[in-house]
């Protein structure tokens, strides 16, 4: 595969916009072998997630040309594919598209056609301190009820010793607090919109979910939780201050405290949508002059061959291979030995259900794959943070959220 690419693409230079995370940074090193073999020069542009989205959006909307390959997330892949902003991906038989985890492949496709190839994927799960739950005589099971999870948080909550029962996202942002809150709402039977895309934020399900969230995090969370997202909680967790954390499965590979155990996300009767689904993927902007070479590179970078290259790389090893991407990775004994969280992660990804259902008309678990969602999600995120900090009551925050979402959807012409 790569030799063929070499013949076709020697003396080509590809500019690749990547999000800054461990897996993507490692790729820059591993891909040195690709350049050596094919002669394709790779120029990496690493950007913060928000800036990357903004740059890639403006580049794509203005006809592209800035990048040959872009990192996009699950929220964009289907929408951009449908809009014709990114090229459909077609790889050779050796690529084994069927090996890509079905939920991830579905989330990156439009009408069955894959528009972005997953580089790594994630779901969410409970990461709890088993030493603390054992000492307190409580247990957290897979898909436990939210009530049991709250009881466990209360039992291990010991602020005098600097240990907080539950650390959860509170920082406002559609990809921050709303990612977690949406999974809670889903598990309470709620959704963002009804079948006519009218917001349903003032529903009883939302009210019950938000009251539960504010109660759980307000009583058993660390102070100042409205400022905490992934990075802040990761720091708290590694300082031994969190008894439990429900967040992205990728967090498991960063945890440095002993005694961590994993459980599938809790729910309040509805397990569909209780855990999220996300993937960072690689796509080719429409009109890229180097589309063929870009496609060859993506084929290599998301292949089984790449997983082997990372696992056998002297600087990285099997604990650093991209996860949440291919079923075959989870079957590798070397990977299973290096990643204690592998089984729980794969189970979470496989059970995630992003497709539209009778309950919700949109694709996506912790987001709705419609162009207006970032705006709606950001507006509601502010209100939820206000409810958490006590600046507003839950009812006030929900009413304001409903009004804001309604105005945005009306203006967008949904009804």
Which residues are at the interface with another protein (CB under 8 A)? 15, 19-22, 25, 28-29, 43, 45-49, 51, 54-55, 58-59, 61-63, 65-67, 175, 229-231, 234-235, 238-239, 248, 250-251, 254, 256
Both structure tokens of 107: 């989330």
From the number of C-beta atoms within 10 Å of its C-beta (0-12, 13-18, 19+), residue 118 rates as: buried
Q: Whole-angstrom Cα distance, residue 280 to residue 120?
A: 6
CB of 307 to another protein, least distance (A): 20
Pairing of strands 41-47, 13-19: parallel
CB of 397 to another protein, least distance (A): 24
If the CB atoms of residues 168 and 409 are measured against another protein, the closer one turns out to be: 168
From the number of C-beta atoms within 10 Å of its C-beta (0-12, 13-18, 19+), residue 406 rates as: middle
Computed from CA positions of residues 382, 387, 391, 393, in that sequence, does the dihedral angle turn out positive or negative? positive
* DSSP state letter for 74: H
H/E element holding 41?
A: strand 41-47
If the CB atoms of residues 10 and 61 are measured against another protein, the closer one turns out to be: 61
If the CB atoms of residues 67 and 318 are measured against another protein, the closer one turns out to be: 67
If the CB atoms of residues 14 and 185 are measured against another protein, the closer one turns out to be: 14
Backbone angles phi, psi at 359, to 5 degrees: -75, -35
* DSSP state letter for 222: P
Residues 6+ apart with CB under 8 A from 15: 43, 45, 66, 67, 68, 69
CB of 257 to another protein, least distance (A): 11
If the CB atoms of residues 75 and 303 are measured against another protein, the closer one turns out to be: 75
CB of 62 to another protein, least distance (A): 5
CB of 390 to another protein, least distance (A): 27
CB of 116 to another protein, least distance (A): 18
If the CB atoms of residues 171 and 326 are measured against another protein, the closer one turns out to be: 171
């Amino acid at each position: 595969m790569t030799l063929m690419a070499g013949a076709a693409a020697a003396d080509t230079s590809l500019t690749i916009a990547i999000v800054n995370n461990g897996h993507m940074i490692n790729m820059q090193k591993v891909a040195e072998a690709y350049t050596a073999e094919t002669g394709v020069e790779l120029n990496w542009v690493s950007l913060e997630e928000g800036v990357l989205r903004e740059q890639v959006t403006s580049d794509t909307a203005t006809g592209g040309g800035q990048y040959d390959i872009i990192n996009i997330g699950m929220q964009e892949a289907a929408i951009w594919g449908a809009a014709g902003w990114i090229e459909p991906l077609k790889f050779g038989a050796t690529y084994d598209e069927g090996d890509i985890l079905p939920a991830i492949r579905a989330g990156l496709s439009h009408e069955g056609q894959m528009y972005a190839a997953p580089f790594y994927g994630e779901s969410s799960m409970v990461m709890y301190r088993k030493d603390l739950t054992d000492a307190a005589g409580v247990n957290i099971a897979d898909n436990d009820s939210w009530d049991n999870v709250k009881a466990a948080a209360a039992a291990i909550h010991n602020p005098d010793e600097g240990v907080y029962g539950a650390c959860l996202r509170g920082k406002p942002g559609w990809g921050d607090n709303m990612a977690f809150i949406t999974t809670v709402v889903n598990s309470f039977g709620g959704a963002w919109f009804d079948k006519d895309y009218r917001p349903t934020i003032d529903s009883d399900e939302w009210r019950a979910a938000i009251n539960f969230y504010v109660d759980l995090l307000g009583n058993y969370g660390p102070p100042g939780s409205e400022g905490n997202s992934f990075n802040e909680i990761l720091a708290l967790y590694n300082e031994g201050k969190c008894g439990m954390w429900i967040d992205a499965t990728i967090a498991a590979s960063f945890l440095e405290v002993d005694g961590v155990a994993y459980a599938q996300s809790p729910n309040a009767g509805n397990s569909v949508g209780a855990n999220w689904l996300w993937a960072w993927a690689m796509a080719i902007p429409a009109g890229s002059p180097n589309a063929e070479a870009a496609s060859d590179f993506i084929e290599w970078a998301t292949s089984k061959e790449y997983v082997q290259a990372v696992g056998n790389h002297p600087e990285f090893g099997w604990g650093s291979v991209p996860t949440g991407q291919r079923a075959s990775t989870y079957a590798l004994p070397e990977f299973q030995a290096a990643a204690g969280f592998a089984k729980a992660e794969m189970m979470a990804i496989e059970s995630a259900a992003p497709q539209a259902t009778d309950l919700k008309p949109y694709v996506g678990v912790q987001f709705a794959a419609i162009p207006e969602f970032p705006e709606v999600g950001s507006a509601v995120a502010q209100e939820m943070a206000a409810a958490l900090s006590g600046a507003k009551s839950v009812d006030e925050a929900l009413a304001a959220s409903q009004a804001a979402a309604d105005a945005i959807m009306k203006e967008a012409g949904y009804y």
